[in-house]
A and B are shown apart, each in its own frame.
Chain A
Amino acid sequence: MSKIPLSYKRTDFASDQEVKWCPGCGDYTILASVQNFMTELGIRKENIVFVSGIGCAARFPYYMNTYGLHSIHGRAPAVATGVSASNPDLSVWVVSGDGDALSIGGNHLIHALRRNVNMKILMFNNQIYGLTKGQYSPTSEEGKKTKSSPFGSVELPLNPMSLALGAEASFVARSIDMDRDLTAEVLRAASEHEGSAYVEIYQNCNVFNDKAFEQLTSKEGKIANRINLRHGEKVIFGAEDENAVTIRDGEAVIVKRSEIDDSEIYVHDITKDNPSIAFSLSRLSHGPYGPTPVGIFRQVERDTYNDEVREQIDSSIEQKGEGELDKLIRSLGTWDVS
């Protein structure tokens, strides 16, 4: 994909369609972040494709002035696999939600990540079914009271970061809708990554699940609970950097900084081939409650599905020559009847 300096404005990426999310929805902020970020991407907009499934987030492609395919519930990663494998020159973006990606489409998500298909998957996690008006989702906390769980949900939620790491994802990151800088930073890295990039974005649903992420977005929570993961930097957090992450018996744990020597503080390395530490970091919280890591968990180089598939086709053509139908229909042997 050629990257050329382009003078796009944010409005170049806005389609003529009226945006129809609820007023105050976190999706607006993400849309603005993405449209802004697209101007710096250096990719011509005709080479960008947004693919979505079903849900509030899935409306996203309609608002982007690029190519877009609003598909069916849960299947966006599979549809995007077809798009991406068919034309490796495209920049393919999947926009999905917690229900779409982790519930009905869980299978497609893990296999797209495993194959390392060249696509960027944005998973807007609002921990609720918004479009269907408020049922618990696979990321809703246990005990969550909703229309479909009036006595509280009895289900253990999924940890979206752990899931992706378990599925051999080569790029795993988390951001928060309100934090435009972090979102832009993560998306930039994702777009530059060759292969599948999986980005969870905590997104506030102000109608059905308001303030779900308050512990990470309120004035105090932001400072107290966000564990910012930055490659090559010591992982420390808190108002006065009083907390740190260290590795004990192979496991990431949160400690008071005063309790350990600075040399014992974990220095974040996104390029580690073994995903154990990244996985362990993902277990520091099982939802946006208390200290929670955000940023890039893992970014490793791995052959992409696109390249491998293309390589087989190219080398087959090189060895056998471009296929000829006359030869094909005779390939099993022929005989003459006179």
Chain B
Amino acid sequence: MEKLTKEALEEFDLPGRAVLRSKNMIALGLISWTFNRDLKDTENWINEKFKNLPEVAKANIKALKTGYNFGITVEAFHHTYKVDKASLPAGEYTNINGNIGLSWGLIAGAKKANLELFYGSYPITPASDILHELSKHKNFNVLTFQAEDEIAAAAAAVGASFTGKLAVTGTSGPGLALKSETISLALSAELPLVVVNVQRGGPSTGLPTKPEQSDLMFAMYGRHGEAPLPVIAAKSPSHAFYAAFEATRIALKYMTPVILLSDNYVATGSEPWKLPEIESLNELGTNLTTKYNTEEGFLPFFRDFQTNARPWAIPGTPGLEHRIGGLEKEDGTGNVSYDTDNHQYMTDMRAWKIENIANDIDQLELNGDISSDTLVVGWGSTYGGITQAVNRLNSKGIKVASTHFTHVNPFPDNTGEILSRFKNIIIPELNTGQLSKLLRARFLVDAIGINKVEGLPFTAQELEEKIEGLIKSFSSVSTSVPTMEPVIEEVVEEVVAEEEPAVEEVLEEVVAEEEPDVEEVGIPEHLILRSAEARAKALGIPVEQVLEEMSGNKPAIEEPVAEVVEEPVADETSTEEKEEVLGEAQDSVVERVTERVTERVTERIIEKVDENVAEKKELLADNESQTDEVETSEKEEVKTDE
């Protein structure tokens, strides 16, 4: 190619080294021929790029054409390709990568919250471009702080947050490890903070330039103590904009650190982005305050009834001077407290505050064939691959649906319901099965992972094949059933008769399991009472009055509170009131229990039928048993891929 370049540019009066710089254009020309691309756009681009050096522009265009013509003349490859224009919805587009999208999302968040943006960061691959991008846009009131280390980057952001800025710190895996203690401080002091983690291959220095989704568990649990916080994941370069905006909204609304996960694939990958109407982005509310929140003064841990967020009073505000920190605080006053009950309460409250966000976020949506038995579940950068794979399978007539998490903590409210609609759950992840573990633990689903950590994203084709293989393995048993119909009927009858006494047994089991769930029906009762007590103490009014006030905002406890007011004999009514809440809760529990018992008994019956059928099959015909073996081994083969 060097020779080709020299020959092509002989006529130009350029020094030797400058000539060789055009080598890339020979290559581009050859590639353009291979893919049947018109050269016009590239020529325009070259002319624009070198508009002050017309000679260089001419040389580059000559090189480009030489490469193209070389392809035509020697027919370097047997095949050429034509990639048609993508069909995109009409609109105005820009080309964006995830780091830029994320940076702009943060700027938009700050702007819509009417706050200045503080970004503390220490250079790290692949997150540094966020620091580079934000440091360009100082005219958006963006203050970027290149800290001495990862800890200082986070710590300065905490300081900025205390001062009333939209505070953000960004890093990749190793840096997140170093920031862990500081994130706990923000969590304990209940200060808003967005923590960006652009994931790369780990552990340790790992694969700094390769994508991996292996920090999910770390984002969820990587802090000392009971320290839950919201986790949001960007699923594509353009989505990084919205994910950052959403992380900002939640941090500010709930006074909490939020971890925003991106990864190397999202961060450095580009895609066309249909530009949003800026006006369509919501204004973001904050908890900023300049006023006393009780008659006696300002209480920094006096919570909002709806969100349980504390007020955000910033230095410079007269009369609201207060001290906060990482030591456990008394609810309400925020004074240091080693009180055991208070610590239990604050731990529960911090957890509840985050859990409560589940009904304030976008619910899961389904894509593909929703009549399917199989759901492919993803999060983060696997979105494109999964969606394409599922759509391709659908167009081949294979039934499968998909759904994608942007919010990984808390999961959207409808997660359990969506998962329960499908028999088989498949979770592709660029890790060894982290979301699988989370969903198994939380929703008791038998999730099957498609996992790899090869430093590469999934291709749609790869997922298509693996998902198809799994679906075949799911249906291999049932496909042999039709030939056995009469046998099955017989077996079903037998098994049902046998299993009848088991219904009761299952019922007991399920009831036992469901009991702890009673609390989930509304805000945990002890939190309501405790919160009311703190407020009552602060305001110097009876608890009942506070409960009444609270009921205005929390319909879930309306009834019990109304009763308290009618009958001021607090102790007795509170028992009744408890019973009533429990009663309501129990109704919905009974429903759930019935559903689950039916489900489980059915499952048992099906299992047993399957077993017995298989046995009978073996006895019935040698030929058929052979087929069955083949199918079973197929199933196993696919499973080893997990």
Interface, chain A (partner B; CB < 8 A): 15, 17, 44-52, 61-62, 64-72, 75, 78-87, 89-90, 107-108, 111, 309, 312-313, 316-317, 319-323, 325-326, 328-330, 332-338
User: What residues on B are CB-neighbors of A17 within 8 Å?
Assistant: 323, 335-336
Q: State A164–B114 Cα separation when bound (angstroms).
A: 39
Beta-carbon contact of B323 and A75 below 8 Å: no
Beta-carbon contact of B92 and A83 below 8 Å: no
Closest to A65 in B: B321
- Report which residue of A46, A51, A71, A108 has the largest number of chain B beta carbons within 10 angstroms of its beta carbon: A71
Beta-carbon contact of A79 and B138 below 8 Å: no
User: What residues on A are CB-neighbors of B185 within 8 Å?
Assistant: 71-72
Min CB gap A80→B, angstroms: 6
Q: State A255–B88 Cα separation when bound (angstroms).
A: 86
Beta-carbon contact of B316 and A70 below 8 Å: no
- Cross-chain contact of B315 among A15, A90, A337 (Cβ < 8 A): A90
Min CB gap A104→B, angstroms: 10
Residue B116 at the chain A interface, CB threshold 8 Å: yes
User: What residues on A are CB-neighbors of B108 within 8 Å?
Assistant: 325, 328
Q: What total count of A-B pairs have CB within 8 Å? A: 203
User: What residues on B are CB-neighbors of A107 within 8 Å?
Assistant: 148-149, 152
Q: State A61–B323 Cα separation when bound (angstroms).
A: 7
- Report which residue of A80, A82, A108 has the largest number of chain B beta carbons within 10 angstroms of its beta carbon: A82
Beta-carbon contact of A66 and B321 below 8 Å: yes
Beta-carbon contact of A336 and B96 below 8 Å: no
- Cross-chain contact of B152 among A78, A319, A332 (Cβ < 8 A): A78
Stretch with Cβ within 8 A of A (4 or more), from B16-24, B27-35, B161-169, B389-397: B161-169
Residue B141 at the chain A interface, CB threshold 8 Å: yes
User: What residues on A are CB-neighbors of B107 within 8 Å?
Assistant: 323, 325, 328
Beta-carbon contact of B155 and A86 below 8 Å: no
Beta-carbon contact of A46 and B319 below 8 Å: yes
Beta-carbon contact of B159 and A86 below 8 Å: yes
Q: State A49–B325 Cα separation when bound (angstroms).
A: 13
Min CB gap A56→B, angstroms: 14
Beta-carbon contact of A49 and B148 below 8 Å: no
User: What residues on B are CB-neighbors of A62 within 8 Å?
Assistant: 323, 325, 336
Min CB gap A88→B, angstroms: 10
Min CB gap B329→A, angstroms: 10
User: What residues on A are CB-neighbors of B189 within 8 Å?
Assistant: 69
Beta-carbon contact of A81 and B156 below 8 Å: yes
Min CB gap A11→B, angstroms: 14
Closest to B157 in A: A82
Also in contact, A82 and B139, with CB within 8 A (given A71-B326, A337-B89): no
Q: Which 4 A-B pairs have the closest CB atoms?
A: A82-B159, A70-B325, A323-B140, A82-B156
Closest to A110 in B: B148
Closest to B152 in A: A78
Beta-carbon contact of A82 and B138 below 8 Å: no
User: What residues on B are CB-neighbors of A323 within 8 Å?
Assistant: 107, 111, 137, 139-141
Also in contact, A111 and B156, with CB within 8 A (given A61-B325, A334-B93): no
- Cross-chain contact of B156 among A79, A313, A317, A333 (Cβ < 8 A): A79
Q: State A52–B93 Cα separation when bound (angstroms).
A: 48
Binary CB contact string for chain B from 220 to 261 against chain A (1 if under 8 A, 0 otherwise): 000000000000000000000000000000000000000000
Beta-carbon contact of A85 and B156 below 8 Å: yes
Also in contact, A82 and B163, with CB within 8 A (given A71-B326, A108-B148, A323-B107): yes
User: What residues on B are CB-neighbors of A72 within 8 Å?
Assistant: 155, 181-182, 185, 326
- Report which residue of B88, B111, B145, B165 has the largest number of chain A beta carbons within 10 angstroms of its beta carbon: B145
Residues B122-159 near A (CB distance < 8 A)? 137-143, 145, 147-149, 151-152, 155-159
User: What residues on A are CB-neighbors of B501 within 8 Å?
Assistant: none
Q: State A68–B159 Cα separation when bound (angstroms).
A: 11
User: What residues on B are CB-neighbors of A332 within 8 Å?
Assistant: 94-96, 100
Residue B327 at the chain A interface, CB threshold 8 Å: yes
Beta-carbon contact of A82 and B160 below 8 Å: yes
- Cross-chain contact of A334 among B94, B164, B320 (Cβ < 8 A): B94
User: What residues on B are CB-neighbors of A66 within 8 Å?
Assistant: 321
> Number of B residues whose C-beta is below 8 Å from A?
66
Min CB gap A294→B, angstroms: 30
User: What residues on A are CB-neighbors of B93 within 8 Å?
Assistant: 334-337
Q: State A52–B104 Cα separation when bound (angstroms).
A: 33
Beta-carbon contact of A313 and B160 below 8 Å: no
25 contacts between A and B (CB under 8 A): A15-B323, A17-B336, A46-B318, A46-B321, A48-B315, A61-B323, A68-B321, A69-B323, A71-B185, A71-B326, A82-B160, A82-B163, A87-B164, A90-B163, A108-B151, A313-B138, A316-B138, A317-B141, A323-B111, A325-B104, A328-B137, A328-B140, A333-B95, A337-B90, A337-B274
Q: State A66–B151 Cα separation when bound (angstroms).
A: 26
Beta-carbon contact of A82 and B321 below 8 Å: no
User: What residues on B are CB-neighbors of A321 within 8 Å?
Assistant: 139
Beta-carbon contact of A44 and B315 below 8 Å: no
User: What residues on B are CB-neighbors of A71 within 8 Å?
Assistant: 155, 158, 185, 325-326
Beta-carbon contact of B163 and A86 below 8 Å: yes
Beta-carbon contact of B160 and A83 below 8 Å: yes
Beta-carbon contact of A79 and B158 below 8 Å: yes
Beta-carbon contact of A81 and B139 below 8 Å: no
Q: State A242–B90 Cα separation when bound (angstroms).
A: 90
- Cross-chain contact of A67 among B155, B165, B323 (Cβ < 8 A): B323
User: What residues on B are CB-neighbors of A335 within 8 Å?
Assistant: 92-94
- Cross-chain contact of B167 among A64, A67, A82, A338 (Cβ < 8 A): A82
Closest to A79 in B: B159
User: What residues on A are CB-neighbors of B336 within 8 Å?
Assistant: 17, 62
Min CB gap A167→B, angstroms: 11
Beta-carbon contact of B143 and A337 below 8 Å: no
Closest to B274 in A: A337
Residues B85-125 near A (CB distance < 8 A)? 88-96, 100, 104, 107-108, 111, 116, 118, 120
Beta-carbon contact of A83 and B162 below 8 Å: yes
Residues B272-307 near A (CB distance < 8 A)? 274-276, 278
Q: A111-B148, A323-B141, A329-B104 are in contact. List 20 more A-B contacts (CB 8 A).
A: A47-B316, A51-B159, A67-B322, A68-B321, A69-B189, A69-B324, A70-B327, A75-B182, A81-B155, A82-B162, A82-B163, A86-B143, A316-B139, A319-B139, A320-B139, A323-B139, A333-B94, A333-B95, A334-B92, A335-B94
User: What residues on A are CB-neighbors of B320 within 8 Å?
Assistant: 46
Binary CB contact string for chain B from 484 to 514 against chain A (1 if under 8 A, 0 otherwise): 0000000000000000000000000000000
User: What residues on A are CB-neighbors of B151 within 8 Å?
Assistant: 75, 78, 108
Beta-carbon contact of B91 and A337 below 8 Å: yes
Min CB gap A239→B, angstroms: 45
Binary CB contact string for chain B from 171 to 202 against chain A (1 if under 8 A, 0 otherwise): 00000000001100100010000000000000
Also in contact, A67 and B89, with CB within 8 A (given A62-B336, A82-B158): no
- Cross-chain contact of A45 among B116, B141, B276, B321 (Cβ < 8 A): B321
